[in-house]
Amino acid sequence: MSVKHAKPNLNQSQVAEMVKRLFSLTPSEMRSLPSYDDQNFYVAAVEGGEYVLKIMNSEHSKNPTLIEVQTYAMAFLHQNGLPAQKAIPNTAGQSISMEEIGIIHGDLSDQNIIVTPIANGHHEISGIIDFSLLMNGCYVFELAITIMYLMLENPNPLDVGGPLIAGWESIMPFSDDERDSLYLLVLGRLCQSLVYGQYYSRKYPDNKEYILTTARNGFQMLAKLWELGKEEVERKWFSDASTFSVNN
């Protein structure tokens, strides 16, 4: 990887000054939040309200189109009643000029999906955060990414695919090519996450614990999925999806 994404390294005093200068807010509480190659802070303001401040890395911050697309996506989801971050204007104001385009979040992991407890031990999605990997892409990539990350946190990883596939197809039925590619897309994203984790953990050793989140179970899961093979994994996923759809 030849491109270096220099991660910001601001202290809390610098962040507090930035919040006052750019947003006319006085922090009453601040704490650092996990991030891969950006810097994130929780900020509670004396004036009221709670915010997440994202300070982008030196490479992505050079790309105003990328920032504009991310802001547009958040606004689009928010305006359509979906729980997502909402960008607030700084003291210089803010404009959004993007036309509606086909985009995916690109990182719908358990780290970026906020849930709220409801009755009987169940949870519902109450927020979606971190649009830094927003991209043009096939919609099925989104499903593969989510399946992969949620499998990592489940004691029975193969049980994850069925309900997610059932929910997906209730809105967006698979094409033959999408159905056929899902297994390899999940494995591909897992490989990508593991390789990136090894690279960035060496680059940012102070953030190693967070960066290597996937690696805790990822290598074992990759070996297991490969050992089971495409046919067996797909049989389990799509059989479960069919049952889940009928029973729910």
Overall number of domains in the chain: 3
Q: Give yes or no: residues 148 and 115 share one domain.
A: no
**pLDDT recorded at residue 94:** 55
Q: Which of 137, 170, 190 is the last residue of a domain?
A: 137
Domain boundary among 109, 137, 165: 137
Nearest to 28 by CA among 9, 50, 10, 11: 50
206 labelled catalytic: no
* Predicted pLDDT of residue 29: 93
pLDDT at 226: 93
- 143/240 same-domain check: yes
Report which secondary-structure segment, H or E, holds 128: strand 123-128
Helix, coil or strand: residue 214: coil
The pLDDT assigned to 5 comes to 59
If asked whether residues 222 and 184 sit together in one domain, one would say: yes
Please identify every stretch of the chain with a pLDDT value under 70, giving residue numbers as ranges.
Answer: 1-5, 92-102, 245-248
The pLDDT assigned to 115 comes to 87
Choose the final residue of a domain: 119, 137, 155: 137
Overall residue count recorded for the chain in this entry: 248
Q: Are residues 160 and 114 in the same domain?
A: no
Tell me the residue range of the domain where 103 lies. Answer: 63-137
Out of 107, 159, 176, 240, the active site residue is 107
In the sheet that holds 39-45, the strands lie side by side as 27-33, 39-45, 50-55
